[in-house]
């Protein structure tokens, strides 16, 4: 053979000798093998890696590392190694001249020398390219050292041997070579310093990953610092490392965006060329032009379809390379996975063969351990790549969606709601992220299955097919169940959505519910939906039990069927340990891919749906930036020029604005007036370029500032809202605040202009929001101002101030071009020009005088509104709609589009000032600060509830009680039965395999098989049992917990709802209840299952080798230590991640709402940057949590690997006493333990994370409650109150213990049937009086007596049912109109129709197709505000109680509706006591008495005439209103 002659001159040296290497007590390799193969292995490795690695380094330059001592040492050692190798070579040359030597003496040193040179070159090249620690080199030195060690041991043996001749020179050089290699390996473990000019230098908290050494990165040691820190004290956001450069949005998003843009433009170009074809034809044949066009369109359609931009291609292009890496890792891991069973086979052979030398057993043991360890390291590198890629995918998708959302047209926005777009960002991006980790299973699962089947076939022959058949049968069963589960999930989601929608409404309208005492009716509605939901849950619980049954019993059934077929087919088939346990190990491997496949496929299907949704969104039309020419301000013709322009909202719509022509000279003030819905706001949108320009020419010169009708406020400080990304200029800022009348508001806010404004501006009233929006525009100092009715939401006198100081001829903007949409007639004379719009066209245009003289539409408009306006002009009114002309047709109010109404509704909470600019001197600051003080306190409260460390045992106990203790213990008992049966069946199998073989057959085969089957079936029954019990128990628990939560939340006092953001409450009802419904039961099942599995495995190992008792406890301790360490950090990271996730969505939500403003101010870049920062903040918390998972898994699997090592080792040591069956049993169990340990930690931390839901739900059930709803003993007679006499005796009221009294010593007696008006400036305590009467807030002192009964002594419902209120904001709930009037179904239809007639709604309701069953939308959106107010009136008429409280509707009732309400109340409630909280004095001038409140005290009381004569506060208010 050629290689022999290569080894020695006369080919006498053999290359391989089995007797020398294997069949001996003292193994060794032949010299020839040592000198060729062992030398060449490392060289080959380096030569293969070199070209690939070299190219990689050329592409990825991290910067230059300076020469350091470490680097000098490495280089020097490399050169010395080269010299040593070549010293050998020259020695061989010299030697050759004397005696002929084998050729390898020349070749091996040459090759080795060149390899060392290459290694030295790489060391330097890595330094130049900024690699701090190299995996390639570390592995090279390690392999070299390993091979050298084998040679060294052999050389030492040889030297110690009977005076054999020793080649001194070569021994010496080899020893030097060995020492140098060892030194190189040690040096390789230390990382270099970071490269020059890298980001890490200026980074306060860089991620240690890249500066860590190779070993540290493979074992994830570099995160340990963070773990220790997290264990000592809970982590905070500032402890997190910065993201790596490659994971940041600014790196990732542009790549995907570029690739997508390329792909998109490709597909856009193609169909467009064809679309122009029909146009030419039409010119030639006019007669049948339409037809041809139609035909053409039909032809074009399909081609367009085929050329859709493929998002998948783009994603593949962007992230493909990462998946290639993961592919290689996964393949390596899959192959190693099958090494375990194969080595087990060899080990069992060894145990059976008593003649085999001992070292072979130890060799197998070590081999098993090394394979397991390698498998661990490779698998987790693979997962790390996958997760990081998934994270990048999500970052990229979120970034691309955000960028797209800033440029899509309004018509495209309409096709997907804000919620849907946010879903794209949260749900769909998340799906891709999850898929990234599984996508490789698509090829890996079939690969694993095929390999396993091949090995099984070798082991058992064709009988395997029986097992495979069972598996294949189970796949469709699983698939069917998955499909079923899916349909149930959809049904459950539907119920859940309905329930959450209802809950949302209940929480938004909780005040009205309490005032009307309707809680019970709504509780029933919620529970009814919940009942449906639980029925579906029950069905899916049965399914889940079936699924668990198949999943747990599948491996057993497969084993049973295979063994049964194997033994029965042929008497001579013997089931020995090797066959049985190797097959079991392989079946256990098989089980994973088979169960994963359906899951992966459903994941892929989901992801493809997401892919499609994303593609559709990313392919939406974009706004055409060139439709409006924005030039610099130079030319003379005017600042805004519009010629023959026609606009529509989308390409397909009919035009909204037709042939608009006008020119606005620079610096002029132009008003746009017209009826509701005539296109005033659309005109401004058109000028901003938000609409689609059909034809015409539009120029807007200079920068633009825009104030929308519905103020858009960001969740930032007040100052940030006004400055809006511009430079801060103190003097200008102060001036802006002053002219926009924001000073008084800023004084009231707890931290002045640094106060954080809540989402959508919750802690500002409508007027304040509008003024902030105006201030933002004024501050930015643009050239053109487009103002969309900024005065509508503010009080009359504040409006006057703003007009004079800001908008008007003498205001701060006097030199700017201003376009003002307005309804306030009194400002029109001061305008330069007025545009009158009707139905999307400009009907008239000119100055005030000119238009009056023309006597056209404008004069008509003026006449309609001027008289209404006169009486209201200076009134302290807060009603925008008095200024907004309401179109009246045939005496019926024309219904406005519901969207418009929302603009005009003001802050909902009537408990504090409507518009604080109004009367600063009178508003008690305490009252105004209340909502803010509380706001801050709730923010803190929320943070605290999240920071509980470990979950208390009491929570688990609570959950068990909610399930029911009998059920809980039953399930634990069934778990025990299952695992005992499972252990017994495997033990029985080991006894079976040890049966002696007589005449080539085993006795008792049938008995063995029968018992094995019986044990298996009992195991199955137990599984099914516990699965059912846990699932059903879970449903009991969630029913019980939800019922309690709902009941207790409805019983909470009003203050609780004001303090708690409704988001938190809705979250409890959606997220937490959902967790309790569908997440906790399966997790508990898996947790218990894996816990018993681990315990079972330990028991088996102890049974086989009792000496393992020494080693299991320390390993158990190590395990617990690692797990506690991990859970502390991981829990906190998870929390930080979810805390940092919400800002991403809320910022996105905000952007979508304010997108036109962002575009108008041209702030897109800043917002994109903010979004990127928020995403990065979120990924900053997510990244360590991925790595922490890997850290944990590597540590745990090492614990598992040690268990494998010791199980095998003790088996080898005691091989003479042990049977093969027991060894097989113990080693195959230990092979599984790694997976179980992993699961156990996963599940225990999942249980901890999810059981928190129970804690959070319980937390709200233990809040303070309001008084009992009804008290039997003190319940008043059913006819009470008969007279309606109300007495306040020394009454006082405060909102919270720590605040001042809002009402003090009120002493008033109101006789039955009196009509009382209550007036006072904002914040005087008018609304508080009603709150006291309804006991929304309990009295702080004194009492209220109604008809001789102290109202504090009776149940709340008894009281609230007897008093009727027409509240300030007309709130309707979604449901039928009938339900809104009479939720308890107490009244007949006749009664309801009568009340509707009196409320002037009969005509409207009869015109509806469903009459009384007309579905009201959420919040009554599909009725106009006036109609809603009338519905509230109808409610009051239906109740017809003796006492009526009228909290005068200030928000959006026009004069007509107001008159209707007043006249109805006068006629219908003649003999009732009526209390009216009046904002417009003209409504109460004919009341019996008026109470004037001032700072919570009654200062004047008497008939209106008398009070006017006294000339006190009432007189001055009447004078303000122009009534005197």
Q: Per-residue pLDDT for 369 more than 90?
A: yes
What pLDDT is recorded for position 872? 42
DSSP per-residue letters across 459-504: HHGGGHHHHHHHHHHHHHHHHHHHHHHHHHHHHHHHHHHHHHHHHH
DSSP per-residue letters across 1390-1459: HHHHHHHHHTT-HHHHHHSTTGGGPEE-GGGTTS-HHHHHHHHHHHHHHH--SEEEEE---SS--HHHHH
Q: Per-residue pLDDT for 139 more than 80?
A: yes
Helix (H/G/I), strand (E/B), else coil: 1159: helix
What pLDDT is recorded for position 1149? 81
At 738-756, the pLDDT tens digits run 888 888 778 777 777 787 7
Q: Per-residue pLDDT for 765 more than 60?
A: yes
Q: Among 100-104, 126-130, 1520-1524, whose mean pLDDT is lowest?
A: 1520-1524
What percent of the chain shows pLDDT beyond 90?
6
Q: Which residues of 357-370 are buried (b: 16+ CB within 10 A; e: fewer)?
A: eeebbebbbebbbe
Peptide bond into 1179 cis (omega under 30): no
d(CA 196, CA 304): 52
Question: Which band of pLDDT confidence, cut at 50, 70 and 90, is reported for residue 899?
Answer: very low
d(CA 824, CA 792): 8
Convert 127-147 into a string of H (helix), E (strand) and C (coil). Answer: HHCCCCCCHHHHHHHHHHHHH
What pLDDT is recorded for position 1453? 54
For the record, the structure tokens of 1213 come out as: 């040591």
Q: Per-residue pLDDT for 829 more than 80?
A: yes
Which of 57-71, 193-207, 908-922, 1440-1454 has the highest average model confidence (pLDDT)?
57-71
DSSP per-residue letters across 1092-1113: HHHHHHHHHHHHH-GGGGGTHH
What pLDDT is recorded for position 373? 92
What pLDDT is recorded for position 270? 53
What's the CA dihedral at 131, 136, 137, 141 to 10 degrees?
Answer: 160
For the record, the structure tokens of 1428 come out as: 């809603």
* Region label for 1285, one of left (φ > 0), alpha (ψ between -120 and 50) or beta (otherwise): beta
d(CA 800, CA 803): 5
Assessment of whether the complete model's pTM goes beyond 0.85: no
Closest CA to 270 of 316, 317, 311, 309: 309
Q: Are 422 and 566 in contact (CB under 8 A)?
A: no
Average pLDDT (1065-1070) is: 77
Which of 105-109, 528-532, 825-829, 1053-1057 has the highest average model confidence (pLDDT)?
528-532
What pLDDT is recorded for position 76? 92
Q: What are 1293's strand-pairing partners?
A: 1303
What pLDDT is recorded for position 182? 93
798: Cβ contacts below 8 Å, ≥ 6 apart: 741, 767, 771, 915, 917, 918
At 990-1035, the pLDDT tens digits run 888 888 877 777 777 888 889 988 988 898 889 888 888 888 888 8
For the record, the structure tokens of 946 come out as: 């999240």
Q: Per-residue pLDDT for 1257 more than 50?
A: yes
Q: How far is CA 829 from CA 808, 846, 1023, in A?
A: 11, 11, 85
At 1343-1401, the pLDDT tens digits run 888 888 888 888 888 888 888 888 777 778 877 888 888 887 778 888 888 888 877 77
What pLDDT is recorded for position 1455? 60
Q: Per-residue pLDDT for 1044 more than 50?
A: yes
d(CA 275, CA 1089): 63
Question: Which band of pLDDT confidence, cut at 50, 70 and 90, is reported for residue 143?
Answer: very high
What pLDDT is recorded for position 44? 92
Q: Are 1133 and 684 in contact (CB under 8 A)?
A: no
Question: Which band of pLDDT confidence, cut at 50, 70 and 90, is reported for residue 889?
Answer: very low
Q: Per-residue pLDDT for 938 more than 50?
A: no
Which of 577-591, 854-868, 897-911 has the highest average model confidence (pLDDT)?
577-591
At 1171-1194, the pLDDT tens digits run 999 999 889 888 998 898 888 888
**Residue 456: CA count within 13 A, CB half-sphere:** 27
What pLDDT is recorded for position 903? 35
Average pLDDT (1148-1167) is: 86
Q: Per-residue pLDDT for 649 more than 50?
A: yes
Q: How far is CA 1018 from CA 256, 584, 1008, in A?
A: 55, 19, 16
Q: Per-residue pLDDT for 387 more than 50?
A: yes
990: Cβ contacts below 8 Å, ≥ 6 apart: 577, 580, 581, 1219, 1221, 1222, 1224, 1225
At 944-983, the pLDDT tens digits run 344 445 667 788 888 888 888 898 889 889 989 988 998 8
At 370-380, the pLDDT tens digits run 999 999 999 99
Helix (H/G/I), strand (E/B), else coil: 726: coil
Burial class (CB in 10 A: 0-12, 13-18, 19+), 475: middle
d(CA 202, CA 576): 66
What pLDDT is recorded for position 955? 84
d(CA 1040, CA 1034): 10
Q: Are 438 and 596 in contact (CB under 8 A)?
A: yes
What pLDDT is recorded for position 368? 92
What pLDDT is recorded for position 1082? 85
Q: Per-residue pLDDT for 248 more than 80?
A: yes
The overall average pLDDT reported for the chain is 79
Closest CA to 1371 of 516, 575, 554: 516
Q: What are 1301's strand-pairing partners?
A: 1294
Average pLDDT (1150-1175) is: 88
Question: What pairing do the DSSP bridges indicate for beta strands 817-821 and 1415-1416?
Answer: unpaired
At 260-300, the pLDDT tens digits run 888 888 877 654 443 433 333 333 334 444 433 343 333 43
Closest CA to 938 of 1074, 763, 1181, 1069: 763
Q: Among 311-325, 799-813, 926-940, 1387-1401, whose mean pLDDT is lowest?
A: 926-940
Question: Which band of pLDDT confidence, cut at 50, 70 and 90, is reported for residue 918?
Answer: very low
Helix (H/G/I), strand (E/B), else coil: 1002: strand
What percent of the chain shows pLDDT beyond 70?
87
Q: Per-residue pLDDT for 456 more than 80?
A: yes
Average pLDDT (703-707) is: 88
For the record, the structure tokens of 547 come out as: 């699924």
**Residue 216: CA count within 13 A, CB half-sphere:** 18
Helix axes 289-306, 249-275, angle to 10 degrees: 150
Listed as own residue / partner, the contacts of 1457-1466 with beta carbons closer than 8 Å and 24 or more positions apart are: 1457/893, 1457/1426, 1457/1429, 1457/1430, 1458/1483, 1460/1400, 1460/1430, 1461/1366, 1461/1429, 1461/1430, 1461/1433, 1464/1398, 1464/1399, 1464/1400, 1464/1433, 1464/1437, 1465/1433
Q: How far is CA 1368 from its chain centroid?
A: 36
- Sequence length of the chain is 1524
Question: What pairing do the DSSP bridges indicate for beta strands 1443-1447 and 1473-1477?
Answer: parallel
Q: Per-residue pLDDT for 1452 more than 50?
A: no
Which of 100-109, 665-674, 1464-1473 has the highest average model confidence (pLDDT)?
665-674
Question: Which band of pLDDT confidence, cut at 50, 70 and 90, is reported for residue 1322?
Answer: low
d(CA 1443, CA 753): 44
d(CA 1146, CA 492): 27
Q: Per-residue pLDDT for 491 more than 60?
A: yes
Q: Are 1191 and 223 in contact (CB under 8 A)?
A: yes
Q: Per-residue pLDDT for 1039 more than 60?
A: yes
Q: Which residues of 112-139 are buried (b: 16+ CB within 10 A; e: fewer)?
A: bbbbbbbbbebbeebbebbbbbbbbbbb
How many CB atoms sit inside 10 A of residue 232's CB?
9
Q: Per-residue pLDDT for 1504 more than 50?
A: yes
Q: Return the residue matching tokens 């093998």.
A: 33
What pLDDT is recorded for position 178? 92
Q: Are 1499 and 1326 in contact (CB under 8 A)?
A: no
Average pLDDT (511-522) is: 83
Question: Which band of pLDDT confidence, cut at 50, 70 and 90, is reported for residue 144?
Answer: very high
Average pLDDT (568-580) is: 81
What pLDDT is recorded for position 1169? 92
């Amino acid at each position: 053979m050629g290689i022999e002659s290569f080894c020695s001159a006369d080919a006498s040296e053999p290359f391989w000798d089995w007797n020398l290497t294997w069949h001996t007590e003292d193994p060794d390799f032949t010299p020839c093998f040592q000198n060729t193969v062992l030398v060449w292995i490392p060289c080959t490795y380096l030569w293969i890696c070199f070209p690939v690695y070299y190219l990689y380094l050329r592409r990825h330059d991290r910067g230059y590392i300076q020469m350091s001592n470490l680097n000098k040492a490495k280089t020097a050692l490399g050169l010395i190694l080269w010299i040593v190798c070549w010293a050998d070579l020259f020695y061989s040359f010299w030697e050759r001249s004397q005696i002929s030597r084998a050729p390898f003496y020349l070749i091996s040193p040459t090759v080795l020398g060149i390899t060392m040179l290459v290694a030295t070159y790489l060391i330097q090249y890595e330094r130049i390219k900024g690699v701090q620690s190299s995996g390639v080199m570390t592995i090279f030195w390690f392999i070299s050292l390993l091979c050298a060690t084998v040679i060294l041991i052999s050389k030492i043996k040889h030297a110690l041997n009977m005076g054999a001749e020793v080649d001194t020179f070569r021994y010496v050089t080899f020893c030097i070579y060995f020492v140098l290699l060892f030194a190189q390996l040690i040096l390789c473990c230390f990382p270099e310093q970071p490269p020059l000019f890298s980001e890490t230098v200026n980074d306060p908290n860089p991620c240690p990953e890249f500066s860590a050494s190779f070993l540290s990165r493979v074992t994830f040691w570099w995160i340990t610092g963070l773990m220790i820190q997290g264990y000592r004290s809970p982590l905070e956001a500032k402890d997190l490392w910065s993201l790596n450069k490659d994971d940041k949005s600014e790196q990732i998003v542009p790549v995907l965006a570029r690739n997508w843009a390329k792909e998109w433009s490709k597909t856009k170009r193609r169909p467009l060329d064809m679309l122009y074809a029909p146009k030419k034809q039409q010119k030639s044949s006019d007669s049948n032009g339409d037809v041809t066009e139609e035909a053409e369109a039909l032809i074009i359609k399909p081609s367009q379809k085929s050329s859709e931009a493929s998002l998948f291609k783009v994603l593949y292009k962007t992230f493909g390379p990462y998946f290639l890496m993961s592919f290689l890792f996964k393949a390596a891991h899959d192959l190693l996975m099958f090494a375990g069973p194969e080595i087990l086979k060899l080990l069992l052979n060894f145990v059976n063969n008593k003649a085999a030398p001992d070292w072979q057993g130890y060799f197998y043991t070590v081999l098993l351990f090394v394979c397991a360890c390698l498998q661990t390291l490779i698998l987790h590198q693979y997962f790390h790549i996958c997760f990081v890629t998934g994270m990048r995918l999500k970052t990229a998708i979120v970034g691309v969606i955000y960028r797209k959302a800033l440029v899509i047209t309004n018509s495209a926005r309409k096709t997907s709601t804000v919620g849907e777009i946010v879903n794209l960002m949260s749900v769909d991006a998340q799906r891709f992220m999850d898929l990234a980790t599984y996508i490789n299973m698509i090829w890996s699962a079939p690969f694993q299955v095929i390999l396993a089947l091949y090995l099984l076939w070798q082991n058992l022959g064709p009988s395997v097919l029986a097992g495979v058949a069972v598996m294949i049968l189970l796949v469709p069963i699983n698939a069917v169940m998955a499909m079923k589960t899916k349909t149930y999930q959809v049904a459950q989601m539907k119920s859940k959505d309905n329930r959450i929608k209802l809950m949302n409404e209940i929480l938004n309208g909780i005040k009205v519910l309490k005032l009307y005492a309707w809680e019970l009716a709504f509780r029933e509605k919620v529970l009814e939906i919940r009942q449906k939901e639980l029925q579906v849950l029950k069905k899916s619980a049965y399914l889940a039990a079936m699924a668990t049954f198949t999943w747990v019993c599948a491996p057993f059934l497969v084993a049973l069927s295979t063994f049964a077929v194997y033994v029965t087919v042929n008497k001579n088939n013997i089931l020995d340990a090797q066959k049985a346990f190797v097959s079991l190990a392989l079946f256990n491997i098989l089980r994973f891919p088979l169960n994963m496949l359906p899951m992966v496929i459903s994941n892929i299907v989901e992801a493809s749906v997401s892919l499609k949704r994303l593609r559709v969104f990313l392919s939406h039309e974009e706004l055409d930036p060139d439709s409006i020419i924005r030039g610099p301000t130079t030319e003379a013709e005017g600042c805004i020029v519009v010629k023959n322009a026609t606009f529509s909202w989308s390409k397909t719509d009919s035009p909204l604005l037709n042939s608009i022509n006008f020119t606005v000279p620079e610096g002029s003030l132009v008003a746009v007036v017209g009826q509701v819905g005539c296109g005033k706001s659309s005109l401004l949108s058109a000028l901003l370029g938000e609409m689609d320009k059909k034809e015409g020419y539009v120029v807007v010169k200079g920068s633009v500032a825009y104030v929308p009708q519905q103020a858009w406020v960001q969740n930032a400080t007040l100052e940030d809202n006004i400055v809006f990304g511009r430079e801060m200029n103190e003097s200008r800022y102060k001036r802006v605040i002053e002219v926009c009348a924001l000073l008084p508001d800023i004084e009231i806010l707890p931290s002045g202009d640094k106060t954080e404004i809540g989402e959508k501006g919750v802690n500002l009233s409508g007027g304040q929001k509008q003024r902030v929006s105006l201030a933002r525009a004024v501050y930015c100092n643009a050239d053109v101002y487009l103002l969309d009715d900024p005065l509508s939401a503010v009080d009359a006198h504040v409006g006057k101030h703003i007009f004079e100081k800001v908008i008007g001829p003498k205001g701060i903007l006097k030199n700017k071009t201003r376009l003002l949409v307005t309804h306030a007639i009194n400002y029109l004379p001061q305008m330069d020009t007025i545009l009158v719009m009707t139905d999307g066209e400009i009907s008239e245009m000119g100055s005030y005088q000119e238009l009056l003289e023309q006597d056209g539409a404008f004069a008509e408009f003026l006449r309609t509104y001027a008289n209404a306006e006169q009486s209201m002009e200076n009134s302290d009114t807060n009603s925008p709609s008095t200024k907004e002309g309401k179109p009246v047709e045939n005496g019926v109010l024309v219904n406005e589009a519901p969207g418009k109404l929302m603009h005009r509704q003001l802050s909902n909470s009537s408990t504090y000032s409507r518009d604080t600019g109004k009367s600063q001197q009178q508003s008690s600051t305490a009252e105004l600060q209340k909502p803010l003080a509380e706001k801050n306190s709730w923010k803190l409260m929320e943070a605290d509830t999240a920071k509980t460390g470990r979950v208390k045992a009491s929570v688990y106990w609570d959950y068990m009680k909610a399930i029911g203790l009998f059920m809980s213990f039953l399930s634990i008992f069934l778990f025990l039965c299952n695992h005992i049966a499972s252990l017994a069946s495997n033990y029985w199998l080991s006894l079976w395999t040890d049966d002696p073989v007589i005449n080539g057959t085993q006795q008792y085969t049938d008995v063995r098989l029968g018992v094995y089957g019986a044990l298996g079936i009992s195991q199955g029954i137990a599984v099914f049992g516990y699965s059912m019990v846990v699932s059903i128990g879970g449903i009991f628990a969630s029913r019980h917990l939800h019922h309690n939560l709902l009941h207790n939340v409805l019983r909470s006092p009003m203050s609780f709802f004001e303090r708690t953001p409704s988001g938190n409450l809705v979250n409890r009802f959606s997220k937490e209840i959902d967790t309790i419904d569908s997440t906790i039961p399966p997790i508990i099942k898996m947790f218990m299952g894996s816990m018993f599995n681990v315990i079972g495995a330990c028991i088996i190992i102890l049974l086989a080798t009792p000496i393992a008792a020494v080693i299991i406890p320390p390993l158990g301790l190590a395990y617990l230590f690692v797990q506690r360490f991990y859970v502390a950090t991981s829990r906190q990271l998870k929390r930080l991640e979810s805390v940092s996730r919400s800002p991403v969505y809320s910022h996105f939500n905000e952007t979508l709402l304010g997108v036109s403003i962002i575009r108008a101010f041209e702030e897109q870049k800043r917002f994109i940057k903010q979004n990127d920062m928020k995403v990065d903040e979120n990924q900053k918390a997510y990244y360590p949590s991925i790595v922490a998972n890997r850290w944990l898994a590597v540590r745990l699997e090492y614990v598992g690997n040690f268990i494998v090592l010791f199980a095998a080792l003790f088996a080898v040591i005691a091989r003479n006493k042990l049977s093969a069956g027991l060894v097989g049993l113990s080693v195959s169990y230990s092979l599984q333990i790694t997976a179980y340990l992993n699961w156990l930690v996963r599940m225990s931390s999942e249980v901890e994370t999810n059981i928190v839901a129970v804690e959070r739900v319980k937390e709200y059930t233990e809040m303070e409650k309001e008084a009992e709803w009804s008290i039997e003993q003190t319940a008043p007679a059913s006819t009470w109150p008969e007279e309606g006499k109300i007495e306040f005796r020394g009454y006082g009221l405060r909102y919270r213990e720590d605040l001042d009294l809002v009402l003090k010593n009120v002493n008033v007696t109101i006789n039955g049937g009196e009509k009382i008006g209550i007036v006072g400036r904002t914040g005087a305590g008018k609304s508080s009086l009603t709150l006291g009467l309804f006991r929304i807030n309990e009295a702080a002192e004194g009492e209220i007596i109604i008809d001789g009964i102290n109202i504090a002594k009776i149940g709340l419902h008894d009281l609230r049912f007897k008093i009727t209120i027409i509240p300030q904001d007309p709130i309707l709930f979604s449901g039928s109109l009938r339900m809104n009037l009479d939720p308890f179904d107490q009244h007949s239809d006749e009664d309801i129709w009568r009340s509707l007639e009196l409320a002037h709604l009969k005509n409207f309701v009869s015109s509806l197709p469903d009459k009384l069953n007309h579905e009201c939308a959420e919040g009554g959106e599909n009725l106009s505000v006036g109609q809603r107010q009338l519905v509230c009136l109808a409610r009051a008429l239906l109740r017809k109680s003796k006492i009526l409280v009228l909290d005068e509707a200030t928000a959006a009732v026009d004069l007509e509706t107001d008159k209707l309400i007043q006249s109805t109340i006068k006629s219908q409630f003649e003999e009732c006591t009526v209390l009216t909280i009046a904002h417009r004095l003209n409504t109460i001038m004919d009341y019996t008495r008026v109470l004037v409140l001032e700072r919570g005290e009654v200062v004047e009381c008497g008939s209106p005439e008398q009070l006017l004569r006294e000339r006190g506060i009432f007189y001055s208010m009447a004078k303000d209103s122009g009534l005197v």
